């Protein structure tokens, strides 16, 4: 399955275009990606991939160039909420007062 994903991403990298990705320099396995390739990688990763130098294996494992440790798997964020932890509201923290409550 992951080999199929890699093949799909690789094939799609050669086909799609997006001018919005032109401002980032992303190098994967020693190759500078074109804007259309960046758009495909962003879609496969379900996030905006930051500019940088990465390696990518056929099984979907990726890491930072020069660091032989797997940092994650492409697509692992798909289906997950991208927002950070939810902060407690003022009422949950006991900081929300009713009108006139401070004057009592």
Q: Order of strands, edge to edge, in the sheet holding 31-32?
A: 31-32, 26-28, 52-56, 61-64, 72-73
8 A C-beta contact, residue 37 and residue 9? no
- Dist. CA 9–CA 74, nearest whole Å: 10
Q: Which two tokens stand for residue 69?
A: 């440790």
DSSP SS3 for 73: strand
Q: What is the pLDDT of residue 38?
A: 96
**What predicted TM-score, i.e. pTM, was given to this entire model?**
0.57
Q: What is the pLDDT of residue 104?
A: 63
Domain residue limits, the chain: 2-79
Which is it for the CA torsion 73, 12, 18, 43, positive or negative? negative
Contacts of 15 (CB under 8 A, 6+ apart): 36, 40
- Mean pLDDT per block of 10 residues along the chain (104 residues) reads 53 44 85 96 93 95 94 88 63 70 66
Largest CA distance in the chain: 70
């Amino acid at each position: 399955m992951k080999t199929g994903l890699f093949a799909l991403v690789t094939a799609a990298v050669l086909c799609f275009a997006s001018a919005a990705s032109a401002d980032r320099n992303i190098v994967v396995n020693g190759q500078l990606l074109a804007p259309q390739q960046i758009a495909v990688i962003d879609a496969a990763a379900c996030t905006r991939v930051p500019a940088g130098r990465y390696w990518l294996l056929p099984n979907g494992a990726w890491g930072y160039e020069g660091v032989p440790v797997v940092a994650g798997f492409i697509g692992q964020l798909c289906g997950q909420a991208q927002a950070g932890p939810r902060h407690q509201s003022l009422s949950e923290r006991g900081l929300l007062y009713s009108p006139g409550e401070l004057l009592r």
